[in-house]
Chain A
Amino acid sequence: VSLREAPEALRRLPIDVRPNPAETVASYIQRLANANHLRSGYLRAYLCGPPDYHGSPDLERLAAVSGRPVSVLRRALTNLPPAPPIWLQDVTDPAVRAVGRKVTSSGKVSFANREYAVGRDFAGEMVQVTCIHSVVQISQHGKLLRAWPRRHPPAKDASIQPDRSHDRGELALDQAARLAPLDDLATDPRVVRRRVDPNGAVSFAGRYYTAGRWLTGHVVQVRCVNGIVQLILDGELVRAWRQRHTPEREQRMLQRPNPQQRTANARPLTRRHGADSLGQQPAI
C-alpha cells in the first residue's frame, strides 16, 4: 500500500459551525472555512478527497470535518446529491441472485411475469425472491416463506428486474418501519394530520403522496423521518414513500401550518369523517 493509498484519518475542525436550515453546501463550506481561517477553495478541495482533490465535495468527508452526522447535513443542506437508495440494498446480493418484491394486497408477488403466492399476512412487506434449480424460493430476512416450482421459462431469468415500485419511490412497509420506527410517534412534533382526498392522496409540504383510494375521507397522520414520508392510520403504517419535497418546504410547513392543518389538529382523529363514534362534526 503506497502512501497515497493509505487511509486518511479525517478529523473534526477545531471551530464548530452549525449549518443553517436550507443552506447550500457551498455556503456552509464557506462559513466553515472562514471560521477556521482557511481559504474556502482549499477546504472545498480537501472535501473532494484524494488523489486529485477536485470535483464535488464528498458529503461524508464534510460530515467528518464538521462533526455532524450525514443525516443532519442532509436534513439541513440543500442541493445535495440524492441519497443512495438504501431500500435496494437487500436485493442486490449477487451471490444469491435474489430480487426484492413487495407483496401485493392479495398476498402475491410478481416474478418473471408470473405470480407466486406468499400469503395475505405479508401484504405490503418486502420479500426476497430467487430461482434456484427450477424452484422459486420466497424468503424474508433470511427465513424461507414459500417455495414454488418454476412457472416461467428459463430464458426469462436473465431479464428479471428488481422491484419496480422503488422506481416510483414507494417503500415496503417493513423496511420503512425499520428505517424509521414508529416508537416516538406520540411525541414527534413533526407529525401532521391530513385528510385523504378523493384521489386517494394527501398533500404534504407541497407534494402529493398516495395513500390509496380505500382511505379516501380518512384522516391520516403524516410525517417525514430519515427521508421517508410515512402515512399512518390509527398507529399503523399504511404507506411509505421516499421524500419528494424539499427540507425547507417542510420546515416552512411546520412553522406555519395552513388553516386546513390547524383545523385537522383541532379535531379528534377519526377513521372516516361520517363514522365518528362520538357523533361529532365530521373532521375538516
Chain B
Amino acid sequence: MSDRASWQPAPDLDEADLHQHLTTLEGWRQFVADAPRPPELLPTVHWERLDAVDQRADAEARLDYHTRLTVVATSALRQVVHTGRRLILLNRHAISARRGLIVSGAAGTGKTTAIAQFGKTHELIDRQHHPGVGGPERIPVVYVTVPPVATPRMLAVEFARFLGLPITPKANITDIIEAVCGVCCDTRTALVLVDEIHNLQLSTRAGAEVSDTLKYFSERIPATFVYAGVDVDRAGLFAGTRGQQIAGRFGLIATVPFPYAAEWQGLVATLEGALRLHHHRPGTLVRLDRYLHQRTGGMIGSLSHLLRGAAIEAILDASEQITKATLDGVGLDHAAQQRHRSRARDRAGTAGTRRQHQAAHS
C-alpha cells in the first residue's frame, strides 16, 4: 500500500454507527440531533392484508425501532439533569474551583444514559440560546471516556479525538493539552462529561497523574465537569489528598437498582407503551412487573435489554406479542442471571425450611 493511499477521509457513518461513537464530535452531534420517531403501527386488519414484501418492510422498520434504546425519564435521570443544570449556572462566573458532579452506581443502572441525556439537554438549550451560531463555532458539550490503564497523554488524546484535532505519533502532551484547552475556550464549552471514571486508580502513579491532568483541564476550561463510573466512591476515587480535593468539589449522585415500587411499575408501563407489536395486549408486562423485577434485579439496563430482546423475538417468530414464555427465552447479562439464580435458591431454601418446621411441629 502506498503512503498516499494509506489514508482516506472519514467515512460517512450511518445513524446506527454514530450512536456508537459518542466520543467523536460528529457522533455526538448526531446523537443530539437524533429524535427517532416510532414507526406507525398499522391496524391489524390492514397489516394482515399487506403482501409479503410490505410485511417484510414493516417488520424491518419495527425491528430497527426496537433495537434502539428507549430513554425513560427516571428519577435518577431527572436528578442528574436538574443538578447538573444548577451547577452549570453556579459555575458560570467562577474563575476557579468550579463545582462538579459524579454519577456513581452499579453497572446497568443508567449512568451513561443519564449523563448523555444531560449533555443532550444542555446542548439543545445552548442551541436555543444561540440560534444561527451552529456548526463548529460552538461546542457546548465534550464527551470523553477514560481509557483503561490510562496515562495523562491518553486522556489528552481522548479530548483531542473528540474535538477532531489531528494527532500524530510525534505529538507531545503539552501541545495536545494546549490545543484542547484553546479550542474548548474558543468554542464556549460549558460541560465536560467524563465517563468510565472508575478506570482511574488514584492508588497508582499513572492514575494519580491522570487525576492531576483532569484537574488541570478543569482549571483551564471554564466548564462544569461531570464524571460517571461504577461505584467510584468505593473504588477509592475519594481517597488520599487528591481524593479529598475531588470530594470537596464534586457532588455525588448514586444510581441504584429500582426497588419494587410504584416507579418500577411506571417504568415497565412506559416501556410497554413504547412497544410496536401487532398482537401484544397492553398491560401484559405490567402484570408481570414482579417477575421482571426478579429477572433484572431492578436494573433499568437489564430491563430494557430484556424487553427489546423479547420484542425482536416476537417479530422474528411472527407471534407479535410478548408473553412470559418469550421473556424466559431471552438471556440476560451474567450479573442479572446470577442475581436471579441466587434469589431463586434463597426462595427454595426458605420454602424447604418452612416445610421442615411444619413437619417437625406436626
Contacts and interface: CB of A to CB of B under 8 A. Distances in A.
Contact of A50 (B3, B137, B163, B165): B3
A42 B8 contact: no
Contacts, number: 91
- The binding surface of chain A is classed by DSSP as loop
A36 B183 contact: yes
A6 B1 CA distance: 9
Contacts of A64: 9-10
Contact of B182 (A1, A37, A61): A37
A58 B4 contact: yes
Contact of A14 (B7, B11, B165): B165
A43 interface: yes
A135 interface: no
Contacts of B168: 42, 45-46, 53
B8 A14 contact: no
Contact of A42 (B135, B171, B181, B183): B171
B5 to A, nearest CB: 9
Contact of A16 (B3, B135, B175): B135
Contacts of A53: 168, 170
Given A8-B6, A8-B7, A50-B7, A14 B175 contact: no
B187 to A, nearest CB: 6
A49 interface: yes
Interface string B162-191: 011110101100010011011100110000
Nearest to A13: B164
Contacts of A46: 166, 168
A134 B181 CA distance: 70
B218 interface: no
Give the interface residue-count category, chain A: 20 to 34
Contacts of A16: 135-137
A52 B6 CA distance: 12
A10 interface: yes
B136 A14 contact: yes
Contacts of B135: 16
B187 A11 contact: no
Contacts of A8: 6-8
Contacts of B137: 15-16
A15 B11 contact: no
A6 B187 CA distance: 32
A39 B170 CA distance: 13
B10 A49 contact: no
Contacts of A58: 4
A7 interface: yes
Contact of A15 (B26, B166, B171, B186): B186
Interface string A11-25: 111111000000000
A119 B24 CA distance: 58
B25 interface: yes
A42 B174 CA distance: 13
Interface in B1-28: 1, 3-4, 6-11, 24-26
A13 B186 CA distance: 13
B139 interface: yes
A10 B165 contact: no
B3 A11 contact: no
A13 B165 contact: yes
Nearest to B181: A37
A85 interface: no
A121 interface: no
Which of B8, B135, B178 lies at the interface centre, i.e. has the most chain A CB atoms within 10 A of its CB? Answer: B8
Interface of A: 1, 4-16, 35-39, 42-43, 45-46, 49-53, 58, 60-61, 64-65
Given A8-B6, A12-B164, 6 more contacts: A4-B6, A15-B136, A36-B179, A42-B166, A49-B3, A53-B168
9 contacts: A7-B8, A8-B7, A8-B8, A9-B8, A12-B136, A36-B182, A37-B186, A50-B3, A51-B6
3 cross-chain pairs, A with B, having the tightest CB-CB distances, nearest first: A37-B182, A8-B7, A11-B164
